[in-house]
Structure 1
C-alpha cells in the first residue's frame, strides 16, 4: 500500500508534529507533500526516511497547486491520498479525484465552533469544506467533539470515523538533564518555578491569561513554546504588565521533550480544543496539568488522568492553582493511563485498518459520461468552487 500525505505546511504545529510522529509506525509506504512552508518538521521527516515534496504554493489563490498535485499523484501511483488541514483537504481532494487515486482520506485536526485553523467559518468556507469532503471516502475526527462539529457543518455522520491522535509516551519521558540544559539555554534559573504553555500563539489559545496569572506571582517564570500571529501582542502585553523579564518565548521547537522537562507545570487556558495533544504530551512528561478544555481527557474516565485538573480561564483562579503547586514543591508524576490509551502505535493500527477498509478490492471505478468516477462530484467543478470561495 502506497500513501501520499498532503498537508498545508510543515511548521512545528500540532497536526504537523502528529504526522511526523505517525509515519515511523505505519507499514504502508508513505510520502508527504507540503503545499507551502516546509519548515523544520519537513527536515525531520526526511531525516527519518520519508520523502517530502514541496509544492511551492504561493497563497490561497494559487490554483497551480492543483495541477502540481495531480502530476505528483499520477507519477507516484498512490493507492491512498490522506489530507491534513483545511487548505490541503480542499486542494488535495480535488487533485486526488482528477488523478483518479483509488481512495481519499482526510483528518480533521482543527475545526472549532466558529473557526477552522484561525479562519472564520463563513457560509462559503463551510460550503467549500462540505463540497470537497463529499469527494473523499472518509473524514477522520481526532475526537468525538470534532465529529459532532463536522456533523453540524453538514458532513454526513456515515462518512466520519473517530480515530484519536496518538502520542509516543516514551519520547516525552521526563529527563532532568535535558530540562536543566534547556533552562540554561533559555536563561532560566535551575531553581525557578516554570509555568509552561505550549501551542500556536494565536488569540484562541488565551495565553494572555497566563501572562496575567504570573503578574501577581513573582516567583514564577512563564515559558511559552510556539509561534503565531499573536506573539507581538503577547510581548506587548508582557511589557505593559511588567513581567517581560519573567516570560520566555521559545518559538517553534523541534525538541518539545526538552522544553517539557524544563517545566514544573503545564497550563492550557484555551476554551476550545479539538483534542489537546500538548496536554497529553505534558502528562507523558509527568507534569501536573491545568486545563480549561481538552476533549482527549473529557472523553475518558476521570481516574485515567489523576495529574490533570480543570481550571477556569481566569487569571486569579489560575494563579491560585499555580501557587498551590509551587508550595508543594517540584513534582513529577507517573504517566497516567490516558497516555497509554492514546499510544501512537494504537493510532497507527486503527489508521491502517481504515486504509484497508476504504481501499477495498482493487476494482476500477465506473465513469460518468464526462469521464468522472461514478458517485463523485466533478473535480473541476469543485476546483471552480475553490476559486470562487478564495475570491470572497
Structure 2
C-alpha cells in the first residue's frame, strides 16, 4: 500500500482453530510493514483443549483485550479514538459489533472489512464496506449488492520447518506413544469433534472398509462428541483417539494419508496443511475442498455418504506420498491481495 497503514483486527473467540490460525498468520505478516492491533476477548483459551490464539500472535502485533467495558465497549473506544485506517473483522460476534458501531456513526468514515470464515449473514456483515471470501461457494452465495465490494482471497499454507527438521523423530515418537508399528499405514483425520465434522460417519466408513487388518485410523482433536465416538468400537478396529495437539501441522509427519469427512467445510485449512506435508488425501466434495482439489477430483467423495467415504478410504490406502502444487496458496501473495482490497476503500 506504499505507506504505513493502521489496521485493527477484531476476533471474539475462545479457541484456537483454523480461523484463529488465519488471523495469527495474517497479522504477523502485515505487522512487518504496518501498525497492526488485534482486539481479543479478555479470555481466549479453550476450556476443553487449552488452545489459545494469544500464544501464537507475533510480538510485533499489539494485543488489546476486552476489559470491564466488555468487547463491544472496548471496540467502541478503539474505533471512536480515530487512530485506525481500517477495521478488519473475523467471524460473527466481532462482525456484528463492528457493524452496529458503524451504523451508529462511531469510527466516522473508517472502512470496515470482514473476512467470511463461514456462511454470509446479513445481520453480521450488512453494514460492512467490503467482504473477503475464502472460497468460491461463499462468493456465489453473496447478495447482488456485494458484486463490486467483495474479493476472493483464499487461505494459505506456511512451510513447516519443524516437520522438515524433526519429522522422522516425531513420527517414531508418536507411533511408539500410541502403540502403532513403525511400518503401518496410518490414516489421520483432524478437527473439532463436533457433529458437522462427521467423524461419526468416518468411524462407520472405516469399519465398513475393513482396513483394520492392515492400517490404523487416528482421530486428532477434542470436542463434545469424543465420548460418544470412543464408545462402540473395539481395539481390533484400530481407531486411536489422539486428542488435541498444538503441534499441527508438524504432526502430519507421523501419518501416511489424510481424510476430511465434513458434511461441509468452509475452507478446509487442515486439508491444505496435510497436502503441504505430502500426504495423499480424501475429502468430501463440499465447501472449500472443491477449490483446493479442483484439479484432483479423484480425491473427492460425495458428502454424508458412508459408501462413498468407505470407497475413498480404500483408495487412500493405496496411495503413496506425493508433492502437491500449492503455489496458489502462498501467504505473502494472499496478504498482498488483502492489502490491495483495503486500498479500494481507503
Q: TM-score range by the shorter chain?
A: 0.7 to 0.9
Task: Tell me, yes or no, if structure 1 residue 333 matches structure 2 residue 325.
Answer: no
The match for 1:348 is 335
Mapped pair 1:148 → 2:121: no
- Alignment of 1:70 with 2:76, yes or no, is yes
Q: Deviation per CA, 1:293-319, whole angstroms, max 9, x where unpaired?
A: 25445347854x48x611234344433
Within the candidate set 7, 12, 18, 1:8 is matched to 12
Distance in 2 separating the partners of 1:35 and 1:197: 30
Which moves more between the two structures, 141-150 or 309-318?
A: 309-318
1:226 aligns with 2:221: yes
Deviation at 1:68, TM superposition (A): 1.9
Paired with 1:247 and 1:5, the residues of 2 have a C-alpha distance of 40
Deviation at 1:187, TM superposition (A): 4.7
Q: Match for residue 389 of structure 1?
A: none
The Cα of 1:134 is off from its aligned counterpart by 3.3
Equivalent in the alignment of 1:309: 299
Q: Please, what TM-score do these two structures have when normalized by structure 2?
A: 0.82
Partner of 2:29: 25
Q: By how many angstroms is 1:3 displaced?
A: 0.9
Summarize the Cα distance change of 1:65–1:22 in structure 2 as closer, same or farther, 3 Å threshold. Answer: closer
1:80 aligns with 2:80: no
Mark the CA change 1:77 to 1:229 in structure 2 (over 3 Å): closer, same or farther: farther
Cα-Cα RMSD: 2.9
Deviating more after overlay: 47-56 vs 14-23 = 47-56
Per-residue CA deviations over 1:22-67 (Å, capped at 9, x if unaligned) read: 222223221211236412443333454323222269xxxxx94311
Preserved CA contact (<8 Å) 2:81 2:107: no
Shift in Å, 1:262: 1.4
Provide, for residues 226-255 of structure 1, a one-character-per-residue CA deviation record: whole Å limited to 9, x for no partner: 3333333323xxx21335973333443321
What is the distance in 2 between the residues matched to 1:45 and 1:94? 29
Structure 2 Cα separation of the partners of residues 29 and 185 of structure 1: 44
- Relative to structure 1, is the Cα distance of residues 157 and 217 closer, same or farther in structure 2, using a 3 angstrom cutoff? same
Residue 163 of structure 1 aligns with which residue? 153
- In structure 2, relative to structure 1, the CA distance for the partners of 1:241 and 1:43 (3 Å cut) is same
- 2:211 maps to 217
The answer as to 2:283 corresponding to 1:291 is yes
Contact 2:79 2:106 in 1 (8 A): no
Asked if 1:179 corresponds to 2:171, the answer is yes
- TM-score, normalised to structure 1's length? 0.74
The CA deviation string for residues 199-242 of structure 1, in whole angstroms up to 9 with x for no partner, is 2222111111221133232233222233333333323xxx2133
Query: Where does residue 358 of structure 1 map in the other structure?
Result: 345
Deviates more, 1:156-165 or 1:173-182: 173-182
Match of 1:362 in 2: none
Query: CA 1:320/1:255 → structure 2, altered by over 3 Å: closer, same or farther?
Result: same
Choose which of 62, 69, 77 in structure 2 pairs with 1:51: 62
Residue 207 of structure 1 corresponds to 199
SS at match of 1:197: strand
Residue aligning to 1:98: 106
- Deviating more after overlay: 224-233 vs 197-206: 224-233
Shift of 1:75: 4.8
Q: Contact (CA 8 Å) 2:67, 2:74: kept in 1 or not? A: no
